[in-house]
Amino acid sequence: MIAAQGGHSLDGPGESAIRLAYFGGSCFRITTPSGVTLMIDPWRNPPWGGWDWYLFDFPRCEVDIGLSTHAHFDHDNLHCLHASTLLDRLVGRFEFADVAVTGIADKHVSDTTHNKYDWAGLTRKLTPMETIPPDNWRSFDNSILIVETAGLRILHWGDNRPDPPDEIWDALGQVDIALLPIDGSPHVLSYDQIAQVCARLKPRITVPHHYFVWNITHRASSLLPPDDWMASHPNARFTDTGEVTLRTDEVKAESDLALCFGTKVAFDPAEELAAKSGKVGA
């Protein structure tokens, strides 16, 4: 961090390019041109036990900046990161080296009747928690994050509602890359709501997250892969690896591309499963 604040280049992809890596759940690592690393929404299992969403603990990662969009277990595992700076539910603007992050305060989705299990409705029935704004509990607040680097505006939606007020849309503006919760259940946003969000944001590239990955996510999560949504998209492709380099000029030349990591992640799930079962070093 001292080197980065002094303007020294680290191990980055170079001028006018970023690296985007997927870690399952809603977690991405963004590497700026100079090499500053930001990790958004590392996941964990529910702390009360008995209903795991993930097959193992989040892999050991060292990054410069850790961020969380909201206080749900599958987004807020900041304490697991080996990070120099933590930005938990950022509201406002943070600038460092060749990156700026803006957090825009809004609300978690509270109407999930489009999902087979209506998770928000079940939450209201099973606990005293209020999920409907404006009187929702704090855990149903959400910070939408805009990361600006390499001449690109990268949005992480978290689990935000699909219909924020106009002042939120005005603050968001047009984005180049939108990281949106898209899965086949659909857990957070319906396909129609995704289309409405994309119509407002006009992203050049949309990247799904918050979906089922067979060797990372438990079936108990009720999440499903985003394959149906990808198949319905006229301009879609899956990555071959868990981390891709995106050049600014190539991103700017795209038009409504759906880019999905699928089952590809930026670590080896087999190693994490082996470590959990005690086979490593045996």
d(CA 276, CA 10): 33
pLDDT one-digit tens code per residue, 123-152? 888 888 899 999 999 999 999 999 999 999
d(CA 198, CA 178): 8
**When comparing pLDDT for 76 and 48, which is higher?**
76
d(CA 108, CA 188): 9
Q: In this predicted structure, what is the pLDDT of residue 122?
A: 84
4-13, 33-42, 167-176, 251-260: which range is least confident on average?
Answer: 4-13
Average confidence (pLDDT) over 72-100: 97
Q: Where are the beta strands (DSSP E) in the chain?
A: 17-22, 28-31, 37-40, 62-68, 82-88, 92-96, 99-107, 141-149, 152-156, 177-181, 205-209, 236-238, 243-247, 257-260
**Per-residue pLDDT for 117 more than 70?**
yes
Q: In this predicted structure, what is the pLDDT of residue 279?
A: 60
**Per-residue pLDDT for 39 more than 70?**
yes
Q: What percent of the chain has pLDDT over 90?
A: 86
pLDDT one-digit tens code per residue, 213-271? 999 999 989 999 999 999 999 999 999 999 999 999 999 999 999 999 999 999 999 99
Q: In this predicted structure, what is the pLDDT of residue 213?
A: 98
d(CA 230, CA 260): 8
Q: In this predicted structure, what is the pLDDT of residue 128?
A: 85
Average pLDDT, the chain: 95
d(CA 176, CA 252): 7
**Per-residue pLDDT for 153 more than 80?**
yes
Q: In this predicted structure, what is the pLDDT of residue 282?
A: 42
Model confidence band, residue 277 (pLDDT cutoffs 50, 70, 90): confident
Token match 């995704």: residue? 194
pLDDT one-digit tens code per residue, 175-216? 999 999 999 999 999 999 999 999 999 999 999 999 999 999
The DSSP letter of residue 132 is S
Number of neighbouring beta carbons within 10 Å of residue 268 = 12
Q: What percent of the chain has pLDDT over 70?
A: 99
Q: In this predicted structure, what is the pLDDT of residue 129?
A: 86
d(CA 219, CA 214): 8
Both tokens of 10, joined, read 């680290």
d(CA 131, CA 72): 13
Token match 């964990």: residue? 44
Alpha-carbon 224 to chain mean position:
16
